[in-house]
C-alpha cells in the first residue's frame, strides 16, 4: 500500500510542472507586415501574456506537488523561460514600433510643416 501511495505522489509531482503561456520571437514576416496599429495590439497581447505568467506562477496545489517532485526547480525554470521569452518579444515589438511608427509620425510632421510654412 505504501508503494502505491509513493508511486501516486511521484506520478502527480512529475506532472505538476505548470504550463506557462509562451511568447514566440517576432518573425521576419511579422517585422515586415505589422503596421503601427497591429504593433500596438501585439504589445498589448504580450503584456497580457506577462500578466498570465505572473498569475500562473501564483501559489497553488501544483506549486506544492512541483516542490515535492523536484524542489520546485522545474516550475522555476519554466516560469523564468516563459518570462524571458515574453520580455524579449516585448522589446522586439517596441523596437519595431519605435522604428516604424515614430519615423512615420516624424515624416508626417515634417511634411505638414512644409505645407504650413508655404
**What is d(CA 101, CA 77) in angstroms, rounded to the nearest whole number?**
35
Determine the pLDDT at residue 1: 73
Q: Note the pLDDT tens digit of each residue in 31-74.
A: 999 999 999 999 999 999 999 999 987 776 666 666 566 666 77
C-beta atoms surrounding 11 within 10 Å = 11
- Give the percent of the chain with pLDDT over 90: 48
pLDDT given for residue 43 in this prediction: 98
Domain extent listing, the chain: 27-103
CA distance 105 to 95: 15
Mean pLDDT across the chain, nearest whole number? Answer: 79
Place of cell 505504501: 2
Amino acid at each position: 500500500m505504501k508503494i502505491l501511495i509513493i508511486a501516486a505522489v511521484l506520478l502527480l509531482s512529475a506532472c505538476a510542472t505548470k504550463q506557462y503561456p509562451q511568447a514566440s520571437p517576432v518573425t521576419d514576416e511579422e517585422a515586415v507586415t505589422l503596421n503601427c496599429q497591429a504593433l500596438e495590439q501585439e504589445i498589448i497581447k504580450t503584456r497580457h501574456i506577462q500578466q498570465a505568467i505572473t498569475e500562473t506562477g501564483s501559489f497553488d496545489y501544483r506549486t506544492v506537488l512541483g516542490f515535492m517532485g523536484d524542489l520546485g526547480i522545474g516550475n522555476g525554470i519554466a516560469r523564468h523561460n516563459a518570462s524571458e521569452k515574453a520580455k524579449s518579444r516585448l522589446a522586439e515589438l517596441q523596437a519595431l514600433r519605435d522604428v516604424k511608427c515614430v519615423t512615420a509620425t516624424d515624416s508626417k510632421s515634417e511634411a505638414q510643416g512644409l505645407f504650413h510654412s508655404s
